[in-house]
Every structure is written in C-alpha cells, then in structure tokens.
Chains A and B, each alone.
Chain A
Amino acid sequence: MLQTPTKTVQPLVSLAGVGVRRQGRWLVRGVEFSIAPGEIVTLIGPNGSGKSTTAKTAIGVLKADEGRVERKAGLKVGYVPQKLSVDWTMPLTIDRLMTLTSPLKGAEIDAALDATGIRHLARAEVQHLSGGEFQRALLARAIARKPDLLVLDEPVQGVDFSGEIALYDLIKTIRNTTGCGILLISHDLHVVMAETDTVICLNGHVCCRGTPEIVSQSPEYLKLFGARAGQTLAFYNHNHDHTHLPDGRVLHADGSITDDCRPDDGRPVDILPTGGRAGPMRIGHVHGPNCGCDHGPAPTGRGEERRNA
C-alpha cells in the first residue's frame, strides 16, 4: 500500500469541493470533509438540505458533478438507507435480511442480532416488524458485515426515546470495538452530539462545522437542546455572520448579499435596503461556526454565474 508520509491515517473517504446537480439545480455544493477510521461524522440540516445526497455521493451511489470523492481502495461499506420498504410479496425474515449483500457465518449474524437486541425476532418477516424493530434489523444487517465505514441515514427514525438513546450507545460501542468510521445523518442534534467527533451542518452547502464540545458549551445550545423539546426540529439562534433569504441568497452581517455563504466567495452583489421589502421576508436565523441550522431554501443555480462573475 502507498502511504503518504505526512498522514499517519489514510481517511476512509474524503470529499473535496463536491457538488451534485439535478435538473440544473445544485442539491449540494462545495462539500468538504473526510472520515478517518474510528471517527464519527454527523451531518445535520433541515429537510432537503442535501444530507442524504452528500452521504450517497460519499459512498458512490451518486456521482459528484463537480469536485472529488476519494475512497480507500476496497472500502467496505455498511449502509442503512433513509427509506427502505420491502414489498410484502417478498418473504424475507430478519435472518435472511442479514445476508442480503454478502454471505455471513451464523455466529456473525447472531452477534449482530444480539448487539441490536432483536435476536428473538430472527425468524420474523421484516414486513411484520414495528418501525423501531425494523431500524434495528437494518442496523444489525449493516454491522454484521463488519464494514470499514458505516453510513447511517436517520437510523433512529421510528424508534422511541429510550430506544433512541440505546441505539446511539450501540453506535458508539460499534465504533469503539470495531474502529470503523461512521457517517451519521440526523436532525436530532441534541442526542447525537455526545457521541460525534465532527458535526457538519448542511444547507445546500456546508454552513458550518466543528466539534460538538464547542457547541455543547454554549449556553444557548444547552437552553434549547439540553432538555428535549420533542421530536420536532428545534429552531434556535446562535451567532453567525450570515442569514439565508427566502430566494436562496445570503445576507451577510455587513449588509451585502451573495449567492453563497462560503467565506471565500462572499463577493458583495447587492445592498439590502434597510426596512425594505427583503426585511420581513427573512426566514433565516443568525448562526455561528458550530450550528445545526434549520433555515431556508437551498441555493439556486444562479450561484454559479455569480461565482464566476
């Protein structure tokens, strides 16, 4: 194996300036991150912010329209997709589900089912499982094949609160015992936080990123996320230098407007009239370097032209 002397650990996957475009619209753009073995990276962001798209691009299910995605040679992925429904016409027990993409030994299957606490359901058909049981089965399937990289797209959907904590504990245990890298997608920032190494906030682009420690020490964060406020995506304020406008453009702290909030292309294009029409239309928030943002629409295709202007 080739080893670069500057890096001791080769990342499992790394994305540089990655963008995915569909029908002339960028779903995500300018995504940069890498996942090392044993690292948990969490993608957060509102619906339609490109979390799943980013994860799928990272593991090669989608092709990047720009930028580079590099995967370690022979990378073994375990994937829990956001949506998976097995047609009722297919008889599929949990036992059979386990060997869906690769053959496994009986002991490996049992170990994964034990870890997720569903061994007693091994012979149950997946169509008869509850949402939480099914998520556990999918997780068990993904970990049973001992992947280098585990990609979990909203793995706790349909799981009750105590089950959710247990599943996140399990994810942490898997990381600690197997040393695999984990790419986690969630909008439940408050629960994920404690386990994750890097949080990346997406909203069509990387809004902000950082370690959870920094964010969790913020009093506003504790106030809003310390106590659980239900399953809904909480709206919260934190310090940031830009605001997303309803049309997808970005209002910066100095009053300038650009098509993107990346600092390297913060070229002013327009000045917002104070008290003008744009003011009341703001649905964005003020956010900081470690946010879980939940703001407006993704950037439009216009961003490209402006950037080249």
Chain B
Amino acid sequence: MLDDFFIRALVAGVGLAITAGPLGCFVVWRRMAYFGDTMAHSALLGVALSLLMEFNLLLSVFIVAASVSLLLLLLQRRGTLSTDALLGILSHATLAIGLVIVSFMTWVRIDLVGFLFGDILAVTRADVDLVWGGGILVTFAIVWMWRPLIASTVNPELAEAEGLQPERTRLAFMLLMALVIAIAMKIVGILLITSLLIIPAATARRFSTSPEIMAVLASVVGALAVIGGLFGSLKFDTPSGPSIVVAALALFILSLLTKPRMSGADHSAASQGGRA
C-alpha cells in the first residue's frame, strides 16, 4: 500500500498533523507563533550546515533549531531588546546565513524550493517511518508532561510554587518543537511549518471546552487539512505544501462561520471587561 507515492504522502502528512495538533495548541496559548517561525527559519541554517559538514540532515536541523531557542533564552535574560525584536533578528539572520552558505557551496545542488515549501509527494518509506516514530515520541512526551505544561502555560510562578518545574518544562517543550520542525521540514517546508501548528489549533479553539479537547481537535483538523490539501493538489495540480495550508485556512474560515459554543455564556456579557 505504501508503495504508492500519494498514499505515502497521506500517511506521513496525517502523522505530522496529529503530532502538530497538541504542540500547536501550546504555541497558540503561549503566544509563541513568531517563536515557532524563528525556529523554523533556522532550519535552513541547519540544512546548510548539514551539507557543509556532511552531517545527518535531521539531526543538524534539530540541533540548530534547539540552539536558536536556547540563544533566545540567553538574550532574553540579558534584557536589552524586546523578545519581538530578538526573534526578528534571529529569524532572518539564520535564514539569510543559511542561504549564503548554500550559495557558496557550488559543488552541491540542492532543491531550495523543496526545503522552503516542502515536497510531501517525494517522501520515502523511511520518511514515513520517521514521521510516525518521531510523532509518537513527541506525543508521548507531551502527554507525559501535560499537567506541568498546562500549569506553566497558565502561570509559571503558580506552577513553580506548587511543586512543578516550569523552567524544565519549557526547555523540554522547546526541544520538542525543534524535533517537530526537523521532521516537518520535508513535508510542508520551512516557511509553512508554523501554519500547520497554528491554524488547526486556532480552528479547534471555537469548538473546545477544555485544553485536552482542543489538543485532540487540533490534531483532527490538521489531519483533515492534510487530506483535503493533498487531494486538492492532485486534482488541481497545485503544490502540495501550500495546498495543505490553504485547506487548513479553509477549515479555519468555516469554523468562523459557525456559532461558537460558549460555556458560561449566560453571564459573560456582564463580566467581559471585569478583569484588567
């Protein structure tokens, strides 16, 4: 069954979407969209270094993305620039350095467009195994540290005071992000990874009454977007990575048209501006 390239693409894409769902929720809750983007952009530097040093591509991307997130933590501690500006610098610096290095290496020919926008139709059987193996690992880790993750997302000091370790949780979360970016790069590409994290989570929000439901729904929405996008790309002969993102966007817009399910809506009007 996995001999067919289209089936392989479907299986890999759905696997990635399921992994990205819960992680994407945290990206949205923690307002880390730009942070995710920065890590994703740094992946190109990882690609360049991997080619330069003839090092494993996946590992190289993972190490660079993780290093960039650690670097950001250090720069934040120094507190000279806002996180926003720091992210902007890191994001484009890593992308540009990656492109410059690649241009120097005249002896290698790389499919730059493939890295930037993904080439899901070219996934191999090994890639499928990687996506599912890595995905199961990431999902297992998220489930395992679910409570500290949620608690430190709501309030790190509260989590710390009540015996959880938000700093360690945050570090683990960044490593998981780096891993997912390394895995996702081939499927949706560096420039579109964050959209697969954020759009399904944002779509799921309106139908969720708990963080757990939202995480599961985000996975479902992401999987639907992958299936829809791939079939769309087959039918209209469009690039597969962007088609998946467009499908996710279509689902998001559809969700906006439905009436949101609001628990406790009975007294929401009176208290909307109640808390500063």
Contact partner, B211, options A92, A102, A151, Cβ 8 Å = A92
Contact partner, A130, options B155, B161, B265, B275, Cβ 8 Å = B275
Q: Is the interface of B mostly helix, strand, loop or mixed?
A: helix
A4 at the interface (CB under 8 A from B): no
Chain A residues close to B by CB (< 8 Å): 56, 59-61, 76-79, 81, 84-87, 89-93, 96-97, 100-103, 121, 123-125, 128-134, 145, 151, 158
Q: Chain B residue with minimal CB distance to A97?
A: B154
B residues in contact with A90, CB < 8 Å = 29, 153-154, 211, 214
B103 at the interface (CB under 8 A from A): no
Bound together, the chains give a CA A158 to CA B276 distance in angstroms of 9
- Given A100-B154, A128-B262, CB of A91 within 8 Å of CB of B274: no
Q: Chain A residue with minimal CB distance to B147?
A: A101
Q: Is the beta-carbon distance between A101 and B164 smaller than 8 angstroms?
A: yes
Taken residue by residue from 201 to 233, chain B's Cβ proximity to chain A (1 for < 8 Å, 0 otherwise) reads as 110010011110110000000000000000000
A residues in contact with B30, CB < 8 Å = 87
Q: What's the minimum C-beta distance from B254 to chain A, rounded to whole angstroms?
A: 18
Q: Is the beta-carbon distance between A101 and B158 smaller than 8 angstroms?
A: yes
B263 at the interface (CB under 8 A from A): yes
- Given A60-B160, A61-B160, A128-B265, CB of A92 within 8 Å of CB of B154: yes
Q: Is the beta-carbon distance between A102 and B162 smaller than 8 angstroms?
A: yes
Q: Is the beta-carbon distance between A123 and B28 smaller than 8 angstroms?
A: no
Q: Is the beta-carbon distance between B263 and A124 smaller than 8 angstroms?
A: yes
Q: Chain A residue with minimal CB distance to B271?
A: A130
Q: What's the minimum C-beta distance from A171 to chain B, rounded to whole angstroms?
A: 18
Q: What's the minimum C-beta distance from B201 to chain A, rounded to whole angstroms?
A: 8
Q: Is the beta-carbon distance between A84 and B274 smaller than 8 angstroms?
A: no
Q: Is the beta-carbon distance between A86 and B154 smaller than 8 angstroms?
A: yes
Q: What's the minimum C-beta distance from A156 to chain B, rounded to whole angstroms?
A: 14
Q: Is the beta-carbon distance between B158 and A91 smaller than 8 angstroms?
A: no
Bound together, the chains give a CA A86 to CA B160 distance in angstroms of 17
Q: Is the beta-carbon distance between A89 and B155 smaller than 8 angstroms?
A: no
B residues in contact with A102, CB < 8 Å = 147, 162
Chain B residues close to A by CB (< 8 Å): 28-31, 147, 150-151, 153-155, 157-164, 201-202, 205, 208-211, 213-214, 262-265, 267-268, 270-272, 274-276
B residues in contact with A59, CB < 8 Å = 161
Bound together, the chains give a CA A113 to CA B88 distance in angstroms of 45
- Given A84-B155, A89-B29, A134-B275, CB of A60 within 8 Å of CB of B162: no
Q: Chain B residue with minimal CB distance to A149?
A: B161
Q: What's the minimum C-beta distance from A180 to chain B, rounded to whole angstroms?
A: 14
The 7 closest A-B pairs by CB, nearest first: A124-B264, A130-B271, A79-B161, A130-B274, A128-B268, A101-B162, A91-B208
- Given A76-B163, A77-B162, A130-B271, CB of A93 within 8 Å of CB of B154: no
B residues in contact with A78, CB < 8 Å = 162
Q: Chain B residue with minimal CB distance to A52?
A: B157
Q: Chain A residue with minimal CB distance to B212?
A: A96
Q: What's the minimum C-beta distance from A157 to chain B, rounded to whole angstroms?
A: 9
Q: Is the beta-carbon distance between A91 and B209 smaller than 8 angstroms?
A: yes
Q: Chain B residue with minimal CB distance to A84?
A: B155
Q: Is the beta-carbon distance between A61 and B161 smaller than 8 angstroms?
A: yes
Interface centre among B155, B213, B268 (most CB of A within 10 A): B155
Bound together, the chains give a CA A202 to CA B29 distance in angstroms of 36
Bound together, the chains give a CA A129 to CA B275 distance in angstroms of 8
Q: What's the minimum C-beta distance from B120 to chain A, rounded to whole angstroms?
A: 28
Contact partner, B210, options A96, A121, A128, Cβ 8 Å = A96
